[in-house]
Chains A and B, each alone.
Chain A
Amino acid sequence: MEHEAGSILAVITLNKELVDGGAPIFFARDEQELERLALYLSKILKAMVHDLDNGTYVVVRH
Chain B
Amino acid sequence: MPEYLIVIAAGILAGTLSRIVLLRIDYRQYPGYPHSYISHLLLGFIASALGAVAIPAVMAPEYTAVTFLALAAQQFREIRNMERRTLESLERTELVKRGLDYIEGIARTFEARNYLVMATAFATSLATQFGGLSTGGLTAIIMILLSRVLMSGDILENICDVVPARLSFQGPILMVDEINMVNVGLKERREKILENGLAVRIKPRDGNARSTIHDMGQRQAIAFTAAVLLGTKKDVNIPEYTPLVRKNPETGEVGLYIMPMEKDLDRLIAAVKLTPVLESASSKPLLAGLPSGKDKKRMG
Are A and B a genuine interacting pair, yes or no? yes
A residues contacting B by CB (< 8 A) are 35, 38-39, 42-43, 46-51, 53, 57-58, 62
A39 touches B236 (CB 8 A): no
Known: A46-B239, A48-B240. A39 touches B184 (CB 8 A): no
**Chain B residues near A38 (CB-CB < 8 A):** 185-186
Tell yes or no: B237 within 8 A of A by CB: yes
The contact of B185 among A43, A46, A51, by CB within 8 Å, is: A51
- Could you list 14 further interchain pairs (A-B, Cβ under 8 angstroms) beyond the known A35-B188, A49-B240, A57-B185? A35-B186, A38-B186, A42-B186, A42-B239, A46-B236, A46-B239, A47-B239, A48-B182, A48-B185, A48-B240, A49-B186, A51-B171, A51-B185, A53-B171
Instruction: Compute how far the CA of A62 lies from the CA of B172 in the bound complex, rounded to whole angstroms.
Output: 17
**Chain A residues near B172 (CB-CB < 8 A):** 50-51, 53
Tell yes or no: B158 within 8 A of A by CB: no
Give the top 3 A-B pairs by smallest Cβ distance, nearest first: A49-B185, A51-B172, A51-B185
**Chain A residues near B188 (CB-CB < 8 A):** 35, 39
Size band of the B side of the interface? Answer: 10 to 19
Tell yes or no: B183 within 8 A of A by CB: yes
CB distance from A14 to the nearest CB of B (A): 13
CB distance from A52 to the nearest CB of B (A): 8
**Chain A residues near B189 (CB-CB < 8 A):** 49
